[in-house]
């Protein structure tokens, strides 16, 4: 296996939840010494895969609080030929992190990604009242800052604390329990992924209308319902062609290889401008 075949691009920096998910995908792929490429944007992750710099990429797909990651959806629909090879849903548990040996009484500033601070506002107000807050580009960056300065506390994951040599002071400090993010492993068409018998399978589609006309969404839903397809997500996005022109993302809990699914997709292909299969993949 050459270096490219062992390479996974991911949204950095090191220590993010995406980085943690990358390790889980690498283990399932049997890549125990993967070559990791740290990217600064979702576009860069997709470009690494499309241009052959990496065999795989890991991107955020959907968060239970914030909804679908629109940058990922737009890449699938408009920019990239990459497909989803697998999905992993990770529980998001924020931790309060400080430098080793630091005292909370000495903490003057709490730093994190804006979402990290917003999702832990109750804990901040109750446990660290009066402290200033400062946003960073990632939770991982905040953990690195806290590890180097005892006056700073970070909101990040335990993975980042271990990576940067910081200390976890409190765990699961998020306001809303059940915060989860779905991460997608992507690759070029034809790339395989090991599937186990007990893996659940999902299929993702991007559907483009021929024209804006009444009843199109009803037609799409009717075709899926007639095939007894259990749809789990639908999301509209502008096509970026003209104002008011939209397309749909749809996910359902069946394989694209099922005969009923193939029949439904063939019917949709006759009625829509394009039916783009973004992947039929295991949820691990």
The enclosing domain of 248 has a CATH number of 3.30.70.260
**Residues 61 and 183 reside in one and the same domain:** yes
Q: Is 212 a residue whose pLDDT tops 70?
A: no
**Residues 84 and 101 reside in one and the same domain:** no
Is 194 among the domain residues?
A: no
Query: Which residues face 233 on adjacent strands?
Result: 251
Task: Quote the domain boundaries for residue 22.
Answer: 4-92+179-187
pLDDT, tens digit (0-9, with 9 covering 90-100), for 65-120: 888 899 999 999 999 999 999 999 999 899 999 999 999 999 999 999 998 998 99
Is 193 among the domain residues?
A: no
Nearest to 21 by CA among 57, 50, 68: 57
Is 263 among the domain residues?
A: yes
Percent of the chain with pLDDT over 70: 98
Report residue 191 CA to chain centroid gap: 19
**Residues 127 and 224 reside in one and the same domain:** no
Q: Is 215 a residue whose pLDDT tops 90?
A: no
**Residues 183 and 55 reside in one and the same domain:** yes
**Residues 24 and 141 reside in one and the same domain:** no
| Close Cβ partners of 219 (under 8 Å, ≥ 6 residues apart) | 271
Omega within 30 of 0 (cis) for the link into 174:
no
Is 192 among the domain residues?
A: no
CATH number at residue 110: 3.40.190.10
Report residue 23 CA to chain centroid gap: 14
Mean pLDDT for the chain overall: 92
Is 274 among the domain residues?
A: yes
The last residue of a domain, from among 187, 220, 245: 187
pLDDT, tens digit (0-9, with 9 covering 90-100), for 250-263: 999 999 999 999 99
CA–CA distance from 254 to each of 5, 10, 203, 259, 279 (Å)?
Answer: 29, 27, 6, 10, 11
Q: Is 213 a residue whose pLDDT tops 80?
A: no
pLDDT band at 145 (very low <50, low <70, confident <90, very high): very high
How many domains would you assign to the chain? 3
**Residues 88 and 101 reside in one and the same domain:** no
**Residues 154 and 262 reside in one and the same domain:** no
CA–CA distance from 206 to each of 187, 189, 272 (Å)?
Answer: 17, 15, 11
């Amino acid at each position: 296996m050459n270096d490219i075949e062992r390479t996974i691009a991911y949204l950095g920096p090191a220590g993010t939840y995406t980085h943690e998910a990358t390790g889980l995908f690498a283990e399932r792929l049997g890549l125990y010494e993967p070559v990791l490429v740290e990217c600064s944007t979702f576009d860069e992750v997709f470009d690494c895969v499309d241009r052959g710099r990496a065999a795989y990429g890991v991107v955020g797909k959907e968060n239970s609080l914030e909804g679908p990651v629109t940058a990922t959806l737009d890449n699938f629909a408009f920019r990239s030929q990459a497909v989803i090879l697998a999905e992993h849903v990770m529980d998001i548990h924020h931790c309060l992190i400080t430098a080793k040996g630091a005292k909370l009484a000495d903490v003057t500033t709490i730093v994190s990604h804006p979402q990290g601070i917003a999702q832990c506002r109750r804990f901040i107000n109750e446990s660290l009242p009066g402290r200033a807050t400062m946003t960073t580009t990632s939770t991982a960056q905040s953990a690195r800052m806290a590890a180097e300065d005892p006056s700073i506390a970070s909101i990040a994951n335990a993975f980042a604390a271990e990576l940067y040599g910081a200390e976890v002071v409190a765990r699961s400090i998020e306001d809303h329990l059940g915060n989860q993010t779905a991460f997608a492993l992507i690759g070029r068409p034809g790339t395989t992924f090991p599937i186990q018998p007990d893996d659940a399978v999902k299929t993702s589609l991007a559907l483009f209308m021929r024209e804006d006309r009444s009843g199109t969404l009803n037609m799409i839903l009717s075709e899926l319902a007639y095939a007894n397809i259990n749809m789990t997500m639908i999301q509209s996005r502008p096509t970026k062609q003209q104002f008011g022109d939209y397309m749909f993302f749809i996910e359902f809990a069946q394989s694209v290889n099922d005969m009923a699914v193939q029949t439904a997709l063939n019917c949709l292909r006759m009625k829509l401008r394009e039916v783009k299969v973004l992947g039929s993949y295991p949820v691990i």
